[in-house]
Structure 1
C-alpha cells in the first residue's frame, strides 16, 4: 500500500476516534515511514529532524495567545461584548435576533477574508476577537460549526482567487512551480483559472449558512479566563488596546516577508501594554503563560505536522502515488482531472499546507496535464485547486486549527467533529466538483 495514503488514512481514522491529533500525526508518520521502507530508526530520525520546520509558526501562535490574553486586562474584549450585546438588545425580539445573527456572521466573514489580502495577518485575529465573542454567539444560539465554516472560508478562498497579500504569495508559487515543471504560464491568468473553484467554496459556504447549521444550538457560558472579576475598561484603556493592536499589525506588515513576522508583532503589542501600565509587571508572567497555554494545542499539532510531512517526502511515495494515478488515467482527460484533484487532497490533508503542497505535486502534474492535452489555464486550475484541496478539512491545517483555537477556549468545540469534518464536507467536496468543471471547460 502507498505510504502516503496509509499514513493519511491512519491519521484521519485516529483523529475521528478522538485520539489527540498530535498523537494521530505521530502514529500516522511512523506507520507511513515503515510502510514506505524507511525502517524504525530512519523514520524516527527523519520525523525528529523535520519538527523544526514549523517551530517558528508554533512560536508565533504562542506569542499571539499571550498577547490576546494580555489584551483582556485593557477591557477591550469586554467592551466588544458589551457593544455587541447592546446591538442585539432583547434576545426575545425574533426579528432583531435574526438581524444580529446576520450581522455577526457577516462581520466574521469580512474580517476573515480581509486577513488574507487587505490586512494580511492570517489567523492572528482569531485569539483576539473570537474568544471575546463567544458570549455573543451563546446569546444568539449560533452553531459554532457555522462560525468555523465561515472563518475557514475566509482563510482559504481569498488566497485562491485574489492576487494580493497571501494570495499573491500563493499565485507566485503556483506560477513558478508550473513554469518550472515545463509549462510557461502567466501569473495574471491565475484569477481566471481559479474563479470556478472559488465559486465552489462560495457554494459550500452558502450550504453551511442556509441549510446545515441554520438551527439554533445551545452552549453554556463559561468564563475561559481564570478570574472572578470582569475587566474594568475606560476610554484610556481602550485607546491603549487599540494602539497595541495597531502597533502589532504594523510590525507584522512591515516584516511580512520574514518568518518571524507574527512573533515580533505580538511582542510589540505586549511591550506597549506593559509600558502603558495596562498589564501589571507582577501579573505579566502568569498572564502570558496562560495565553501561551491557550494556543499550545495548535503549536504542537503544527510542529508534529512538519515531522509528518518530512517522513512522507522521504519515502518518495508522493511521486509513486502520482505515477500510479497516471497509469490509471491513460488518455482520459476527465478521469485525469479527477484523480489529480484527489491526489492533491490526500497530500495536503497530511502536510496541512496548500503552499507547501504546490511544489510537491506541480513537478509531476504539469507533464501529465500537457500529455492529456489540458490548456495552460486549465492546468493552473487543476494544480491550484489540488493544492488548496485539503487545507479545509485537514486536522493539521492552520485554516482549521485557527478557528478551533478561538472557538474552543471554553472547552465546548471539538476540533475534529466540529471544525475538521464540517469544513471537509462543505469545501473539499465542492472544490473537487468545481475544480473538475474548471479543468474540463477552460
Structure 2
C-alpha cells in the first residue's frame, strides 16, 4: 500500500503558454491503512513541500487532551497521526507535536513588521446548490474559492519571498484517499498535506465546502495547528464528516457531538448529499450555538460571507455601495436576481428545461472575483478566484478549473479579465 499517483494536473507552460501560471496543482492518490497514508503523505510534505517540523502544542496537557479527543471523535486521524509522527522520527506517543495537520507554504512575518487589523480581510468565496427538484434528479453545486494571490503572510507587507517560499494555494492539491477501511474521499484545495483546505466529497456523495464568515468569533490569521489546540479545528471538520458520514442528516448529528475551534480563519460550512439535502452550518456569534440553515424544497441554496442564519434574506441586509461588487450582500443579491429573473438568458435550457451543472457554473462565474481596484470592489488585496470546484453529486464527480494569470482590465468596468484553466474531472 502506497502512493498510487503523484503528478501535475497539467503542464503550465505547455498547456497555458508563456506569461506565468499561478496555480500548479498536483493530483495525489494514496491508499493503505490510515497510519500508512499518514506516513506517505508526511514524506511527500518533507520531500516536495519543504516541511521540516510539526507545530508544537503550548504544553503537553494540550497535546494529551487533543490526542485523546482525536482517538474518541476522529479515530482515523489518530491513526494517521501515528504515521506522521513516524515519518518525522518522533515517538508514536509524542504529545509535544501536533501531527493532525501538516501545513505548508505559510511564512512567518518579522516581529518588526506585524500585520495590522484590516491588512488581510477574510471575506471570500461564493457557493450555489441548485434544487434537485428542478434539476432532473441531478445534484449540482458550484463554488468559487476566492483568496489572495499572494504569500501568506509576507504578501500583505510586500516583503520579498526567499527561495522555497510560495504564494498561497499556488501549490494546490487534489488528494484522493483510498483507505483499507472506511469511505474513499477526494479533497480539493491546498496549504495542508493530510486534508487540503477547503472542499471534499466521499464515495457516498456527501460533500462539504468551507467559506469565510468574518462575523464569526475567532482569531483570523492564527496558526492552523498546534499551540492551544482543542477539539476539532474548523478546517479539519469537513474531512472528519466525510470519513464518518454518508448523509447531511448524519453529518449534522456528528457536528453536534464535536467541539469546533476556529483557527486560521472563521467560517461557515455548506453540506450537500446525493439526495439533494443541503444545509449551511454556522456558529452563532452571540450565543455560540451550532445552527443549521436548510435548503428549502424547490429552491437553491446560496452562501457567501455573512451568517445566513442572521441575515436570511435581502430585507435583513445592510446597505452597500453598488460599486462594491464583491460585497457579501451584493453577491447574494446578484445570485438571487440571476436565478429568479435571468434564467432564460444564461441557463442552458433557457428556463424551460431542467437545470444543469453548467447553470451552476454560470451562476458562480457571474460573481467571479477579479478586479482592477480591490478596495472599490470590497475585495482583499490581489484577491482572485483561485479555483472553481463544481460537483455532480449524483455522479460523485468534481470539475475543477484553476487560476492561471491576469490578462487585462475590462474597459469601462472595474473587472480584470483573467485566464482560468480548462475543467479537470476527478471522481471515484
Q: What TM-score does the superposition give when structure 1 sets the normalisation length?
A: 0.23
Whichever structure has more strand as a proportion of its residues is 2
Q: Which protein has greater RCO, CA pairs closer than 8 Å, 6+ apart?
A: 1
Whichever structure has more helix as a proportion of its residues is 1
Q: What TM-score does the superposition give when structure 2 sets the normalisation length?
A: 0.24
